[in-house]
Amino acid sequence: MKLLVGLGNPGEKYALTRHNVGFMVAEKIAQCHRITLKKKGYQGFYGVGRVVTQETTILLPQTFMNCSGSSVNAAYRSLGIDPGDLIIIYDDLDLPFGRLRIKVDGGHGGHNGLRDIVTVLGCKNFTRLRIGIGRPERGDVTRHVLSRFSTKEQKRLPQLLDSAAEAVKKVLSAGVTEAMNCFNNYNLLD
């Protein structure tokens, strides 16, 4: 069993914001593999099905971003998986819009949702897919992550979500190293 978690904030107010790009990718993967995310449990919504050849639980925590650890931990413990079977998908300010990065292990990079997951799980050696949302040139970072994508970004967003979903599928089908080789130099704007 694999546990695929898209990070975001619950509710319509946040649905199309930059901070919810993890939700968007997880929902895209679920849609492509006909997995409905309507079951309530693990302090979130989830569904179970096959992604590529892997039995996978896809989880959208409903605990708000900064408290994601309790939801992830509930699923992680209940499913009895190892850190290598956990994939977290989330937004990254330090990557320009359109960039993807896959990695295993490491710090939280200032991302409060990831910080909470690492703290609650007590481990950090799981797979992460970071999706670039860019950092504002000036202004409030919180306002930036909680705002919607610009008109220009919205035009490219479907392609970014498709590519991120393909990156996750590559992790599941060929492993992290192969996925890193294929997607860590990916730049939507090239």
> Which structural domains are found in the chain, ordered by start?
2-183 (3.40.50.1470)
Catalytic residue status for 19: yes
Rounded-to-integer distance, Cα 136 and Cα 31, Å: 31
109 φ, ψ (degrees, to nearest 5): 60, 25
Q: What secondary structure letter does DSSP report for 56?
A: E
Question: Whose CA is closest to 112, among 146, 82, 84, 83?
Answer: 146
Rounded-to-integer distance, Cα 12 and Cα 17, Å: 10
Please compute, for residue 64, the number of CA atoms within 13 A of its CA located in the half-sphere on the CB side.
Answer: 4
Per DSSP, the chain holds a count of helices (H) and strands (E) of: 6, 7
The one catalytic residue in 19, 108, 111, 144 is 19
* Predicted confidence pLDDT, tens digits, the chain (190 residues): 999 999 999 999 999 999 999 999 999 999 999 999 999 999 999 999 999 999 999 999 999 999 999 999 999 999 999 999 999 999 999 999 999 999 998 888 889 999 999 999 999 999 999 999 999 888 789 999 999 999 999 999 999 999 999 999 999 999 999 999 999 988 877 6
Q: Are 61 and 75 in contact (CB under 8 A)?
A: no
